[in-house]
Structure 1
Amino acid sequence: MAVFCQNCGTGMNDGARFCSSCGAQLHAAAPYAPSAWTGQSRLIRPRAGRMVAGVCQGLANNYGWDVVLVRVITVLLAVFGGGIGLVAYVIFWIVMPEEPLLLPSGTSYVPPSQG
């Protein structure tokens, strides 16, 4: 089966992960492909796109779900599920690590001095 870059349209080999012309990452054809599930993904709370703590955004990003649907289900479970949605949100907030800061290469984070 021929694989084409969705960014520039260049034809690629079947096993290619990145486009040789523009460098864009090629997406797997089917989400159930065995190669798509070989790597272990890690739940993180992203810094971008969060509303409160990033729990719903992190779950949506990790599993490929729509973030609005995850947020609606969380609110419905919090209101009509006896508070289980709120309890689950707080547990995920505590357990899920936050996305690390991305610093330019060659720099390190120095916290401001107190005093």
Structure 2
Amino acid sequence: MTRDEILALAAGRSLNVCVSEEIMGNKVVCDAIFGDTEIHTTMKGETVYDRLTPYSENLTAAQLVITRMANLGFIEAKLWENENRPDVICRAALLTLFKKNPDTKSKQNKPKLWIVK
């Protein structure tokens, strides 16, 4: 994802999905009955299904992004604590993530399997 693509994301579904998958490490699926659903695994190995969190539309949800980025070791996250626009927090987090590791998405989707002959 490029800088221009990140900056072009408006607050809403697309930005929420991107944040959920790239930053929070969740998988997002769209279900005909339940709508957009986040899937993540707890520390106990349990799979949890929940509605897509509105990271770019809700300040409380955006605070989770700040916490996650800080836990991942991005010291820049401290600078976003006083920001009151959740979409700005989400874009800043994505820009920081892709600036540090431009091919994050391609690495994340690769299976960790090896062929042994």
TM-score tier, shorter chain, comes to under 0.3
State the structure with more CA Rg.
1
Larger RCO (CA within 8 A; separation ≥ 6): 2
**Bigger proportion of residues as strand:** 2
TM-score by length of 2: 0.23
TM-score by length of 1: 0.24
